[in-house]
């Protein structure tokens, strides 16, 4: 199960040649004669709506989802799909309310927004913070988890896989956002096709060759405990997905922060016109609705196959060297069942997801460092060509740092036996509430001051840490009755991280309000953004598409509540 045939490598090689050739063609066909930095970092005016939408998904779906979310599907079931389906609704909100503000005020990076809305001190602090977060957490985790998965499927040494992925990603990233955006269309094609093939194989295996409809019906009946979208507080997985919080609580904080206040994501649309950007985000929302079929259903299918002992995958295939069941092995184990050729296709799809995310993240790192740190703090007179070159060097340096971190601490932080997706979500949640509070008040409340923004960032993080360790100092069991605390594996009651995010967000909003009101009375007048209610009007086709997304969400939650 852990080796690829020669034909599989041929299929993968064909994929590599197609992507590389297309990337070269895009680079030379659309290369800017002026060497403009905004053209390189943002592909200003060059990306179509379908390229923006595909690039958003390709950059978002990586080993974190393909491996981590499939593993969570194996352990938690369909409920983990909330991250994907609620993201579809979030993308509509970002398209309607966030994107007009960014484009109207000519904002190209998140630190630029902070500088324009608050001051250069807030912007510089957050620029450095984002660089550290992107390299130490995101880039390193994508690289390590991706290499771990590819190593498990191909049998190749994990160090070799880390180096190969880094080189491939550097190759794509050095072409700039245009190359990333358009090659991501191919990446998404392979991603969706490979994912659908894996889902088809799993469901057909379950049905004994009687088709996927029969297989899904059998899966739903035989693993009914894995088909609930909303957990009750006595569910053993309530800590990960605390009931209605996925609909009206902390899930919104996580999603709005990720999709609306994240350079890595918003960068795809910041170089486009508002209609094109909105169409791209809506297209991404439709693709998001499809993702659970590709990444969650296979995980549930592996759970069923192991549970019913159908053959091909046994419980032993999911064990670590220490004998612990590892959910992250579910998806690679399933791909191991694919016939020769199709295994190579799925291998290419997984690689496509990983490389696209690495390239997108590296480009965002280069954009923030070049435009918000190098240009402002080191060389204010830097030419456009100089900034492009600095950006390319930043790509290489950041990827090398991620490689070193992956080799040194990757196994200790995300090695086998750890549920990678939930791990990343929880620790990103330490900073998301403060960042989102800083952005949302910065958008829509002109009285918000820069000191209030600093309070949200620093104070929000401190409160998140305090809530995390609160169970060590006091008994939280009385909160169980209200669903605000559940017992962990050690029997200690703690607040689910999604609920902690909601509490911290409310704390940040209140703190920002009182600080801003106090400073306003002292005569401090903050910098406001240009906001007009007419900016939020949408076209009829966009409104129809959005209603279709909402209707699908209502139908799914009604069917699988």
Q: What pLDDT was estimated at residue 71?
A: 82
Q: Which of 449, 358, 379 minimizes the C-alpha distance to 62?
A: 358
Q: What pLDDT was estimated at residue 3?
A: 66
d(CA 317, CA 3): 14
Q: What is the pTM of this model?
A: 0.81
The mean pLDDT value of the chain amounts to: 81
The answer to whether the beta carbons of residues 367 and 42 sit under 8 Å apart is yes
Q: Which of 175, 301, 279 minimizes the C-alpha distance to 226?
A: 301
Residue pLDDT, tens place only, 219-235? 999 888 899 999 888 88
Cβ-based neighbour number of residue 21 at 10 Å: 11
Percent of the chain with pLDDT over 90: 17
CA distances (Å), 186 to each of 88, 183, 349, in order? 21, 5, 10
* Mean pLDDT along residues 465-485: 84
Residue pLDDT, tens place only, 89-117? 999 999 999 888 888 888 877 888 888 88
Percent of the chain with pLDDT over 70: 86
Q: What pLDDT was estimated at residue 33?
A: 45
- Exposed, middle or buried by CB within 10 Å (0-12, 13-18, 19+), for 384? middle
The answer to whether the beta carbons of residues 230 and 558 sit under 8 Å apart is no
pLDDT for 413 beyond 80: no
Confidence of residue 88 (pLDDT cuts 50, 70, 90): very high
Confidence of residue 505 (pLDDT cuts 50, 70, 90): very high
d(CA 172, CA 167): 9
Write the CB contacts of 190 (distance below 8 Å, at least 6 apart in sequence): 15, 345, 348, 349, 352
pLDDT for 1 beyond 50: no
Phi and psi at residue 267, in whole multiples of 5°?
A: -55, -30
Q: Indicate the domain borders of the chain.
A: 6-406, 434-530
3-state secondary structure of 172: helix
Q: Give, for 151, the enclosing helix (H) or strand (E).
A: helix 140-154
The answer to whether the beta carbons of residues 70 and 331 sit under 8 Å apart is yes
pLDDT for 36 beyond 70: no
Q: What pLDDT was estimated at residue 546?
A: 95
Instruction: Quote the tokens at residue 273.
Output: 């016109």
Q: What pLDDT was estimated at residue 463?
A: 92
pLDDT for 526 beyond 70: yes
Q: What pLDDT was estimated at residue 422?
A: 62
pLDDT for 252 beyond 60: yes
Q: What's domain 6-406's architecture?
A: Up-down Bundle (1.20)
Q: Which of 500, 400, 504, 424 minimizes the C-alpha distance to 457?
A: 504
Write the CB contacts of 375 (distance below 8 Å, at least 6 apart in sequence): 382, 387
Q: What is the dihedral of CA 481, 421, 329, 215, to 10 degrees?
A: 70
Q: Give, for 341, the enclosing helix (H) or strand (E).
A: none
pLDDT for 34 beyond 50: no
């Amino acid at each position: 199960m852990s080796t690829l045939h020669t034909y599989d490598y041929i299929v993968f090689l064909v994929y590599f040649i197609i992507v590389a050739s297309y990337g070269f063609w895009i680079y030379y066909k659309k290369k800017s004669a002026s060497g403009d930095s905004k053209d390189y970092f943002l592909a200003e005016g060059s990306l179509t709506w379908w390229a923006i939408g595909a690039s958003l998904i390709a950059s978002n779906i990586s080993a974190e989802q393909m491996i981590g979310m499939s593993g969570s599907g194996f352990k938690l079931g369909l409920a983990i799909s909330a991250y994907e389906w609620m993201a579809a609704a979030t993308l509509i909100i970002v398209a309607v309310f966030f994107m007009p503000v960014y484009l109207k005020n000519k904002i190209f990076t998140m630190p630029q927004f902070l500088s324009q809305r608050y001051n250069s001190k807030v912007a510089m602090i957050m620029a450095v913070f984002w660089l550290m977060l992107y390299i130490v957490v995101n880039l390193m985790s994508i690289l390590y988890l991706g290499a771990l998965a590819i190593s498990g499927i191909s049998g190749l040494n994990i160090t070799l896989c880390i180096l190969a992925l880094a080189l491939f990603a550097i190759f794509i990233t050095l072409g700039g956002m245009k190359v990333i955006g358009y090659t991501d269309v191919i990446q998404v094609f392979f991603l969706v096709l490979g994912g659908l093939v894996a889902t088809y194989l799993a469901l057909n295996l379950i049905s004994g060759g009687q088709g996927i409809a029969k297989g899904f019906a059998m899966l739903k009946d035989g693993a009914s405990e894995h088909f609930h979208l909303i957990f009750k507080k006595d569910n053993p997985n309530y800590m990960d997905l605390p009931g209605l919080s996925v609909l009206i609580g902390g899930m919104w904080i996580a999603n709005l922060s990720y999709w609306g206040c994240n350079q890595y994501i918003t960068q795809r649309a910041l170089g486009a016109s508002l209609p094109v950007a909105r169409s791209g985000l809506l297209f991404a929302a439709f693709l998001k609705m499809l993702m659970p079929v590709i990444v969650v259903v296979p995980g549930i299918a592996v759970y069923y196959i192991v549970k019913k002992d159908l053959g091909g995958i046994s419980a032993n295939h999911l064990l670590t060297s220490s004998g612990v069941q590892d959910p992250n092995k579910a998806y690679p184990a399933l791909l191991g069942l694919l016939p020769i050729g199709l295994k190579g296709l799925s291998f290419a799809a997984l690689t496509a997801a990983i490389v696209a995310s690495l390239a997108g993240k590296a480009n965002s790192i280069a954009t923030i460092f070049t435009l918000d740190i190098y240009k402002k703090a080191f060389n204010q007179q830097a030419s456009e060509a100089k900034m492009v070159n600095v950006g390319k060097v930043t790509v290489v340096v950041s990827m090398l740092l991620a490689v070193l971190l992956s080799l040194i601490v990757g196994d200790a932080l995300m090695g086998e036996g750890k549920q990678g997706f939930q791990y990343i979500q929880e620790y990103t949640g330490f900073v998301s509430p403060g960042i989102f509070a800083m952005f949302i008040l910065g958008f829509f409340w002109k009285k918000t001051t820069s000191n209030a923004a600093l309070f949200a960032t620093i104070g929000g993080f401190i409160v998140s840490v305090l809530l995390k360790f609160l169970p060590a100092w006091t008994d939280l069991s009385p909160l169980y009755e209200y669903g605000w605390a559940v017992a962990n594996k050690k029997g200690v009651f703690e607040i689910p991280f999604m609920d902690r995010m909601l509490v911290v967000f409310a704390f940040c909003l209140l703190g920002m309000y009182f600080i801003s009101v106090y400073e306003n009375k002292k005569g401090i007048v903050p910098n406001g953004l240009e906001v007009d209610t007419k900016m939020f009007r949408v076209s009829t086709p966009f409104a129809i598409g959005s209603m279709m997304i909402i209707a699908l969400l209502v139908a799914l939650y009604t069917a699988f509540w």
